[in-house]
Structure 1
Amino acid sequence: MNTRKPPLDGVKVLDLTRVLAGPWCTQNLADLGADIIKVERPETGDDTRAWGPPFLKDEQGKNTTEAAYYLSTNRNKRSIAIDIASPKGSALVRELAKSCDIFIENFKVGGLKKYGLDYESLKAINPKLIYCSITGFGQTGSMAQDPGYDFIIQGMGGLMSITGERDDLPGGGPQKAGVAVTDLMTGMYATVAILGALHERHRSGLGQYLDIALLDSHVALLANQNLNYMTSGNIPPRYGNAHLNIVPYQVFPANDGHLIVAVGNDKQYRDFCQAINHPELAQDERFITNPSRLAHRDLLVGILTDILKTDTRDNWLNKLNAAKVPCGPINNIKQVFDMPQVQAREMWQTLPHPTAGTVPTVASPMRFSDTPIQYKKHPPLLGEHTDEILKEFNLQDFLNN
């Protein structure tokens, strides 16, 4: 039997975040074995509890108070209901912080100082504390006090300028991503930063302050598009479902649907031409190399579109897969979870739930050979663990004094 403990076993996290970026970070830490104490407002709790429908249904088929949005990012945590705006509530959080390793919050810049819950105040009582602030624009700069929202930052930060169909084509114009990618990426960067700070603390014995911003994270995630601009001075345009630097690398229509073709090099292009029964396209000087295909993008794409419309999606996918040409379908979410590969990876997990019987959750993509992710706790009910946590920290009489 494996006796190794989870990677973050014994690490205590005081979580004052809500909505998505912060909870995404703390769910990662929870999956790694950290004890996440989710501090929520009495009566209402995390905003996303009410972001439905859909809501989780109880065993009688009636809606619970937990929206699917909330369930997506709060497993493996414990919930304590505290009014931090009250003197006793803020004092209680300070007491909890004395015994915690990590404090994470996503209040506006300076918003916790009036409660004595800012970094300097907590550092004075726990020098080992790692304090992570997640805000829209960071702690410095002219926009530091502005609220940050994923959708707005997708536009402001450049993603929508490169997402969506070309302006000269039908349906052209900016488009946001289908999920809150800015929040999710910020949560991931916050996770990495916290793990780095924990590792450094093993050497120094001291905590530190982490300043994580949605806008910073969003600018960073533009990756190669940033460098396309930084090295050339040319502003990257929208290319819809095509690729700025590679051709053919886009969605094509078949006669019964759509497929993705992702030809990444010249050999794959030659194999692709063979697979679609048009080897002459691999010998045409206008299309032999990727730079030449880029120069004649519209011509080649038009030719390929006419060819691929002559057969079904699945027939093309079978031919391209046989030729080892990268390709794939465009699945809806049901089709994703019906995929044998997704099922083999056990991405659909189920947890016991006190009012619904069970609750579904999506498995973490982090896979460990000897300390696997454990799915132990359902996303908590509001304040479900208040008494348990107070007793554990010997604070059960705190609010009564």
Structure 2
Amino acid sequence: MDRPMKGIRILEVAQFTFVPAAGAVLADWGADIVKVEHAVTGDPQRGLVRVLGHDAHRSGSSFAPIMEGPNRGKRSIGIDLANPSSRPVLEELVRRSDVFLTNYLPGVRTKLGLTVEDIRAINPDIIYVTGSGFGSQGADSDRGAYDATGFWARGGSADGVMPADADQMAFMPAGAYGDNIGGMAIAGGISAALVGRERTGEPSVVDVSLLGVGAWATQFTVNLALFSGGPLPKVQKKSAAVGNPLTGSYKTSDGRWLQFSMLQPTRFWNEFVTAIGLEHLVDDERFTTLQDISAHSDEIGGWFADTFAARTYSEWIEALQGLSGPWAPVQNSWDLGNDEALIANGRIAEVVDADGTIQRLVANPVKFDDAVVQLDRAPQFAEHTDEILRELGLDDDELIGLKIAGAVT
């Protein structure tokens, strides 16, 4: 069963990435996702021209990665939820759904009649799911957030990667970084709620916050601070274990980096020094124990650094292929998108865009039964409005009437 969510129907009233990313994961797993977009403006993320200094679109192509990633595999319907004429359509969609998924703020949900009470009055068995900035209770429950604020800054990650003498705040390593991590959490919560409903007959109300996901990601230091009774002092963070030159990062001649994590240096010593061309250090009596290596770690580390600095990144990737100890190249986004392990496991998958062109996207990390990943492109704005309305039983006259009223696109 490579698509275990097949037959599950999810109504998504959400925008940007945090909650839509959850819908994308569930669509990958086989669920039928109907994405409700504003009848005029659509998902605001469609309008982003540049993201973190990069072009979000390419001239002549309908493919926009910032929309495709969190929205692939869905169907889009354009509805003006504020227009009373649209209410029967929304209610019929709710009746036919297993899950109602939204990131609208509580005040907006109340205004539009989308509260859990409103939705459960239509479908008592529906699982009601919200993605929020700071949780469904407390003084901040009606405050909006992006992952830069709720996850990265307030959630502890930004502080965790900054040294004490930082001149500026460290920013996320990628756009929608916390949103995509949070989307996986929401998808897991929905899956658990579906199992719970099947076993008990009781539908859950699920909430996942960006702040909660951020705290979970940084829980090691959060838990330690709580145990210690106060803020943890800033310490200089190194990629190397103290006294072990077979751990840490080394720079290549072309400015790239390699990371090594051989925590048992005596076990890997001969193999390592042979692989990097320092065969004269094999079985060197000066470095036969962990204590010996630790005592000379600065000197050894200097030899290793000079050695790695003499060859290029690509040369080292080739030279180190057979090395059994844990190591990895420090990859950029292009490297990662072409990573052989990801490709072999189907985590970089092809999708045909609206222009008929084959594109590639990162697949979600969960794999079922070694099945080949099958991705469908994200919908164009309101692309499936007519199709969905006809599924609800509306005839052409009713459909045209809704369009004339401005209720749907």
Task: Give the TM interval when normalised to the shorter protein.
Answer: 0.7 to 0.9
Aligned to 1:385: 384
Deviations 1:306-345 (A, max 9, x none): 5543454455555655442222222333333444444433
Relative distance call for 1:304 and 1:190 in structure 2 (3 A) is same
Distance 1:195 1:260 in 2: 36
Residue 188 (structure 1) shift: 0.9
Residue 225 (structure 1) shift: 3.2
Q: Any idea what SS the aligned residue of 2:108 has?
A: coil
Q: Any idea what SS the aligned residue of 1:39 has?
A: strand
Letter aligned with residue 248 of structure 2: Q
Does 1:400 pair with 2:396? no
Relative distance call for 1:7 and 1:310 in structure 2 (3 A) is same
Deviations 1:155-176 (A, max 9, x none): 2211011224x4469x886343
Residue 382 (structure 1) shift: 0.7
Relative distance call for 1:94 and 1:236 in structure 2 (3 A) is farther
Aligned to 1:7: 4
> 1:95 aligned to 92, 97, 108, which one?
92
Aligned to 1:363: 363
Deviations 1:49-106 (A, max 9, x none): 122354555xxx6254x53211222111000000011112244212210110000000
Aligned to 1:191: 187
CA contact (8 A) 2:22 2:186 kept: yes
CA contact (8 A) 2:251 2:258 kept: yes
Distance 2:291 2:96 in 1: 69
Aligned to 1:225: 221
Distance 2:90 2:266 in 1: 61
Does 1:158 pair with 2:156? yes
How much identity, in percent, do the aligned residues show? 26
Relative distance call for 1:318 and 1:350 in structure 2 (3 A) is closer
> 1:285 aligned to 286, 291, 302, which one?
291
Aligned to 2:211: 215
Distance 2:242 2:199 in 1: 44
Distance 1:155 1:243 in 2: 26
Relative distance call for 1:315 and 1:238 in structure 2 (3 A) is farther
Residue 250 (structure 1) shift: 3.2
Distance 2:350 2:215 in 1: 35
Deviations 1:242-285 (A, max 9, x none): 26899554322133332111223454564576445455456473
Letter aligned with residue 400 of structure 1: G
Distance 1:256 1:266 in 2: 27
CA contact (8 A) 2:3 2:368 kept: no
Letter aligned with residue 218 of structure 2: L
Q: Any idea what SS the aligned residue of 2:192 has?
A: helix
Residue 196 (structure 1) shift: 0.2
Provide structure 2 residue ranges, at least 5 long, that are not aligned to the other structure: 403-409
CA contact (8 A) 2:272 2:323 kept: no
CA contact (8 A) 1:19 1:48 kept: yes
Aligned to 2:136: 139
TM-score, normalised via structure 1 length:
0.83
CA contact (8 A) 1:359 1:378 kept: no
Relative distance call for 1:179 and 1:221 in structure 2 (3 A) is same
Relative distance call for 1:323 and 1:364 in structure 2 (3 A) is closer
CA contact (8 A) 1:32 1:373 kept: no
CA contact (8 A) 1:162 1:239 kept: no
Relative distance call for 1:241 and 1:383 in structure 2 (3 A) is farther
Q: How many residues align?
A: 385
Distance 2:301 2:248 in 1: 9
Deviations 1:275-313 (A, max 9, x none): 45455456473754xxx99xx8x8876675455434544
Q: Which range moved further: 14-23 or 346-355?
A: 346-355
Aligned to 2:261: 262
Q: Any idea what SS the aligned residue of 2:161 has?
A: coil
Relative distance call for 1:300 and 1:127 in structure 2 (3 A) is farther
Letter aligned with residue 184 of structure 2: M
Does 1:351 pair with 2:351? yes
Deviations 1:197-216 (A, max 9, x none): 00001112231211111000
Relative distance call for 1:226 and 1:399 in structure 2 (3 A) is farther
CA contact (8 A) 2:239 2:249 kept: yes
Provide structure 1 residue ranges, at least 5 long, that are not aligned to the other structure: none
